[in-house]
Amino acid sequence: MTTASSADHPTRRDFLFVATGAAAAVGGAAALWPFISQMNPDASTIAAGAPIEVDLSPVAEGQDIKVFWRGKPIYISHRTKKQIDEARAVNVASLPDPQSDEARVKSGHEQWLVVIGICTHLGCIPIAHEGNYDGFFCPCHGSQYDSSGRIRQGPAPANLPVPPYQFVSDTKIQIG
């Protein structure tokens, strides 16, 4: 009896230890999930991030407004003919983040530029109508964006992003 039990003893013991250890590891990992998941936006924050509608009719040519969507400032610029022409005259290939102006606005609504007004460098808010490119200038580290919101000079690596939006009528857009 002693011979038999001592022969299979170690295997049985090992299996038990491995199974218990594995159960503890699985349980521990599963128990961790709620503690991580709770850091994500809660249901009310997600609900508050629903699309918003913006009426463009009060914005005159050459003016711009700032609206907030999901806590982010969105610049809506009613561009002048000069600004549009400047934006389209640039050689796209020469840009740090090559993108044509046509790709950044909705066709038929070229006068409207809608961008997220957060500098792609480190998150400051650029000032509209400043800088050398008739666009935006970020006061934090001197990044300059053109009238299409594309990066032209300074440390920022990318163009101002265009948020998801669509025209619901000629004078109304829905952001989100």
Site residues for another protein per CB under 8 A = 13, 16-17, 19-20, 23-24, 27, 30, 33-35, 37-40, 42-45, 47-48, 50, 58
Number of Cβ within 10 Å of residue 39's Cβ equals: 7
Number of Cβ within 10 Å of residue 9's Cβ equals: 11
Q: Which is nearer to another protein, 57 or 91 (CB)?
A: 57
| Closest CB 123 distance from another protein, rounded Å | 22
| Closest CB 75 distance from another protein, rounded Å | 17
φ, ψ of residue 163 to 5 degrees: the values are: -75, 160
Q: Which residues on neighbouring strands pair with residue 117, listed in sequence order?
A: none
Q: Which is nearer to another protein, 49 or 155 (CB)?
A: 49
Cβ-contact 112, 79 below 8 angstroms: yes
Q: What are the CA-CA distances from residue 84 to residues 45, 55, 56 (Å)?
A: 36, 21, 18
- Residue 121 designated active-site: no
φ, ψ of residue 78 to 5 degrees: the values are: -90, 95
Q: Which is nearer to another protein, 34 or 123 (CB)?
A: 34
| Closest CB 125 distance from another protein, rounded Å | 20
| Closest CB 28 distance from another protein, rounded Å | 10
What is the C-alpha separation between 165 and 167, in angstroms, rounded?
7
Please give the DSSP secondary-structure letter assigned to residue 61. Answer: T
Q: Which is nearer to another protein, 14 or 85 (CB)?
A: 14
| Catalytic residue chosen out of the listed positions 9, 109, 121, 141 | 141
What is the C-alpha separation between 41 and 45, in angstroms, rounded?
6
Give the residue numbers annotated as catalytic, written as ranges: 141
